[in-house]
Amino acid sequence: MTPPSSFNSNFRYLVPILGFMLLCTLFLFSNLDFSTYSVSPASDASVSSLVTTTKALSSPSPVVLTAVDSIGSRPKETFSDLITTFDQWDKEVGCDRFQAKFKGWKVNASAVQEIDRHDCSELKMSHASVYVKLASWVPDILDGLYQCRCGLSCLWTRNEALADKADVWLWVTFHLQNRTEGDPLHAFFQIEAPRWRSGHEDIFISYHASSEVQATYAGKFFRIHRSYTVPNNKRDDVLVYWSSSNCLSHRDETAKKFLSLVSHHSMGKCLNNVGGGDMALTFYPDCQMEENPIPHWWDHLHCAMSHYKFVLAIENTFTESYVTEKLFYALDAGSVPIYFGAPNVWDLVPPNSIIDASKFKSIEELADYVKAVGEDPVAYAEFHAWRRCGVLGNYGKVRDASLDTLPCRLCEEASVRGGRKASLRTPS
Confidence of residue 225 (pLDDT cuts 50, 70, 90): low
- Do 251 and 143 share a structural domain? no
pTM above 0.95, yes or no: no
- Do 315 and 278 share a structural domain? yes
Considering the domain boundaries, does residue 171 fall inside one? Answer: yes
CA atoms of 374 and 262, how far apart (whole Å): 11
Considering the domain boundaries, does residue 45 fall inside one? Answer: no
- Do 294 and 206 share a structural domain? no
CA atoms of 120 and 404, how far apart (whole Å): 21
- Do 276 and 208 share a structural domain? no
Q: CA distances (Å), 325 to each of 117, 208, 217, 219, 425, in order? A: 25, 15, 6, 9, 33
Considering the domain boundaries, does residue 327 fall inside one? Answer: yes
Category of 169 on φ-ψ map: left (φ > 0), alpha (ψ -120 to 50) or beta: beta
Considering the domain boundaries, does residue 22 fall inside one? Answer: no
- Does residue 132 sit in helix, strand or coil? strand
Confidence of residue 16 (pLDDT cuts 50, 70, 90): very low
- Do 346 and 394 share a structural domain? yes
Cis peptide before 194 (omega within 30 of 0): yes
Helix H or strand E encompassing 187: strand 185-189
pLDDT for the residue numbered 135: 62
- Does residue 385 sit in helix, strand or coil? helix
Residue 151 pLDDT greater than 80, yes or no: yes
Contacts of 187 (CB under 8 A, 6+ apart): 130, 168, 169, 170, 171, 201, 202, 203, 204, 205, 213, 410
- Do 227 and 148 share a structural domain? no
Q: Which strands make up the sheet holding 355-356, listed edge to edge?
A: 264-266, 240-242, 310-314, 336-340, 355-356
Helices 249-259 & 363-374 angle (0-180, nearest 10)? 50
Residue 18 pLDDT greater than 50, yes or no: no
CATH number of domain containing 170: 3.40.50
Residue 166 pLDDT greater than 90, yes or no: yes
Considering the domain boundaries, does residue 31 fall inside one? Answer: no
pLDDT for the residue numbered 220: 82
- Do 414 and 395 share a structural domain? no
Q: Report strand pairing: 153-157 vs 144-147.
A: antiparallel
Considering the domain boundaries, does residue 138 fall inside one? Answer: yes
**pLDDT tens profile 96-122:** 999 999 998 989 999 999 999 999 999
- Do 206 and 238 share a structural domain? no
Considering the domain boundaries, does residue 112 fall inside one? Answer: no
- Do 348 and 227 share a structural domain? yes
Considering the domain boundaries, does residue 73 fall inside one? Answer: no
Residue 5 pLDDT greater than 90, yes or no: no
Residue 25 pLDDT greater than 50, yes or no: no
Residue 261 sits at φ, ψ, to 5 deg, of -105, -5
Helices (H) and strands (E) in the chain, counts: 13, 12
**pLDDT tens profile 197-223:** 988 999 999 999 999 999 999 988 766
Residue 265 pLDDT greater than 90, yes or no: yes
CA atoms of 69 and 154, how far apart (whole Å): 48
Segments forming the whole domain that contains residue 297:
220-400
- Do 256 and 210 share a structural domain? no
The stretch 68-88 carries a mean pLDDT of 96
- Do 264 and 297 share a structural domain? yes
pLDDT for the residue numbered 48: 35
Q: What is the mean pLDDT of the chain?
A: 84
- Do 305 and 176 share a structural domain? no
CB 193 within 8 A of CB 323: no
Confidence of residue 61 (pLDDT cuts 50, 70, 90): very low
CATH number of domain containing 281: 3.40.50.11660
Residue 396 pLDDT greater than 60, yes or no: yes
Count of domains forming the chain:
2
Confidence of residue 397 (pLDDT cuts 50, 70, 90): very high
Contacts of 79 (CB under 8 A, 6+ apart): 85, 234, 236, 377, 380
